C-alpha cells in the first residue's frame, strides 16, 4: 500500500515543490491551501482549497482519513517587505497560530504517523545577530528568546506547541528551522518575494540601477529548494525530534548577492541603497547539529542555484 501524506500549504513555494517530491517518492499525496500553486499545475493526487484557520475545514480534511505523514507548511508569511514592516503582525500571529493549533490537534485525534512543522531562522535571538560577520544561530541559542519579528515569535510558540503535543500525546514530530529557501516557482513580484528572487527581477528588468534596502552589508545564507527538501525528507525519516536548522552556511552580503546575479546575467548596474525593512544584521545557518544527527549538509553552491533561479525569473518577466 502507498504511504499517504498531507501537505498543508501545498499551493505555496515550498509546499508545491514538496508535493512533487513526495509523489515521485511514491506517496499518495493530498494537498491543501487557500490557493492553487501560481506557476504550475499541482502534482498532488488530491488538492483541496481550504482555510486551515477554520476548524470545520480541518475536520473535513482529516475525517475518515489516515495520513502516514503530515507536512505543516501553511503560514501567513512573506519576505522582509511583509514580515518586518510591523503592519501585518497581528494577522501573522493570529493566522499562523490558528493553523498550527488546528492541525496538531487533528493529527493527534486521528493518529497521524508523524507531523512535520516548518519553523524559521527568524526564531533566533536578535542580540546574537547584531554584526554581519559572526551571527550565532546554533539551535540552543534560540532560548533565551528575543526574535526580531512577531513572525519569529509565532514560530517559537508553535515549535513549543508541537514539542508539547509530542511530550504529552506521544505523536512523532519533526521541526525544521528553514533559512531563506529559494528557487523557481516562488514569489518574485507580488510583495512577498525574498531577496534572491527580488534581486534577480531587479537585474533582469530594463533599468540602469537597482535598489537595495539598507547599506547592503547585511548578510544571509540561502538554500536551494531541492536541497531543502533533501533535508526535510531525511529529517522525517529519522527519529530526531528537536528543532534543527535546514539551511546553508555559505554566508553572503546582500550587495555581493546582487553582484553575483549581475555576473550570472552578464549585466552591470549601479546599486542604490535606500531605506527599507531589514531584519537582523547578520544570519547564517549553523549546520553542526543536523550534520551530527543526520549526516546532512547542502551540496549545491549558491552560485549554481542562483543561475537556475535567474533563468526562471527572466523567463517569467518575458
What residues make contact with ligand NAD under the rule CB under 6 A?
9, 11-15, 33-35, 51-53, 73-77, 95, 99, 118, 120, 178, 180-181, 194
Residues 37 and 14: beta-carbon distance below 8 Å: no
Q: What number of other Cβ atoms are within 10 A of residue 83's Cβ?
A: 23
Q: 223 in helix, strand or coil?
A: strand
Q: Give me the least distance between CB of 118 and ligand NAD, in Å please.
A: 4
User: What's the grid cell of residue 20?
Assistant: 512533487
Minimum gap (Å) between residue 270 Cβ and ligand NAD = 28
Task: Choose between 77 and 251: whose C-beta lies nearer to ligand NAD.
Answer: 77
Residue partners of 175: CB distance under 8 A and separation at least 6? 116, 117, 119, 159, 162, 163, 241, 242, 243, 244
The position carrying cell 540552543 is 140
CA nearest neighbour of 254 among 12, 76, 14, 80: 80
Residue 165: active-site member: no
In the complex, minimum distance from the CB of residue 297 to ligand NAD, in angstroms, rounded to a whole number: 18
**Residue 100 vs 267, nearer CB to ligand NAD:** 100
In angstroms, how far apart are the furthest CA atoms of the chain?
58
Compute the least distance from the CB of residue 247 to ligand NAD, in Å: 8
Q: Is 208 or 220 the residue whose CB approaches ligand NAD more closely?
A: 220
How many other C-beta atoms lie within 10 A of the C-beta of residue 166? Answer: 19
Pairing mode, strands 181-182 and 209-213: unpaired
Name the minimum Å distance from CB 11 to ligand NAD.
Answer: 4
CB 290 within 8 A of CB 245: yes
Q: Which grid coordinates belong to 317?
A: 518577466
Q: Could you tell me if 79 and 194 are in contact, meaning their C-beta atoms sit under 8 angstroms apart? A: yes
| H/E element, 114 | strand 114-120
- Min separation Cβ 50 and ligand NAD, Å: 6
What is the rounded CA–CA span in Å between residue 276 and residue 259?
A: 20
Q: What angle do CA 51, 37, 306 make, to 5 degrees?
A: 130
Which of 71, 82, 151, 310 is an active site residue?
151
Question: Which residue's beta carbon is nearest to the bound ligand NAD?
Answer: 12
- The smaller minimum CB distance to ligand NAD, of residues 249 and 269, is found at 249
Residues belonging to the active site: 151
Amino acid at each position: 500500500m502507498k504511504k499517504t501524506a498531507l501537505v498543508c500549504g501545498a499551493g505555496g513555494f515550498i509546499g508545491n515543490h514538496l508535493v512533487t517530491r513526495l509523489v515521485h517518492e511514491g506517496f499518495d499525496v493530498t494537498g491543501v491551501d487557500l490557493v492553487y500553486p501560481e506557476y504550475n499545475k499541482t502534482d498532488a493526487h488530491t488538492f483541496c482549497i481550504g482555510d486551515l484557520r477554520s476548524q470545520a475545514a480541518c475536520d473535513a480534511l482529516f475525517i475518515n482519513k489516515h495520513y502516514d505523514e503530515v507536512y505543516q507548511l501553511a503560514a501567513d508569511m512573506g519576505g522582509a517587505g511583509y514580515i518586518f514592516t510591523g503592519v501585518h503582525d497581528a494577522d501573522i500571529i493570529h493566522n499562523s497560530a490558528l493553523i498550527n493549533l488546528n492541525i496538531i490537534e487533528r493529527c493527534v485525534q486521528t493518529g497521524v504517523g508523524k507531523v512535520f512543522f516548518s519553523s524559521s531562522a527568524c526564531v533566533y535571538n536578535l542580540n546574537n545577530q547584531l554584526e554581519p560577520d559572526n551571527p550565532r544561530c546554533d539551535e540552543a541559542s534560540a532560548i533565551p528568546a528575543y526574535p526580531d519579528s512577531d513572525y519569529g515569535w509565532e514560530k517559537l510558540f508553535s515549535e513549543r506547541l508541537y514539542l508539547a503535543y509530542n511530550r504529552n500525546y506521544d505523536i512523532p514530530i519533526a521541526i525544521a528551522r528553514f533559512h531563506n529557501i529559494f528557487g523557481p516557482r516562488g514569489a518574485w513580484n507580488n510583495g512577498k518575494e525574498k531577496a534572491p528572487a527580488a534581486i534577480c527581477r531587479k537585474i533582469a528588468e530594463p533599468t540602469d540601477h537597482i535598489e537595495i534596502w539598507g547599506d547592503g552589508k547585511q548578510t544571509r545564507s540561502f538554500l536551494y529548494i531541492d536541497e531543502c527538501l533533501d533535508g526535510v525528507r531525511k529529517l522525517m525519516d529519522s527519529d530526531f525530534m528537536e528543532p534543527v536548522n535546514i539551511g546553508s552556511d555559505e554566508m553572503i552580503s546582500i550587495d555581493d548577492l546582487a553582484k553575483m546575479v549581475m555576473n550570472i546575467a552578464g549585466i552591470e548596474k549601479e546599486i542604490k541603497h535606500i531605506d527599507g525593512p531589514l531584519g537582523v544584521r547578520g544570519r547564517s545557518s549553523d549546520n553542526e547539529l543536523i550534520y551530527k544527527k543526520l549526516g546532512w549538509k547542502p551540496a549545491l553552491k549558491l552560485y549554481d542555484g542562483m543561475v537556475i533561479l535567474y533563468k526562471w525569473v527572466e523567463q517569467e518577466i518575458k
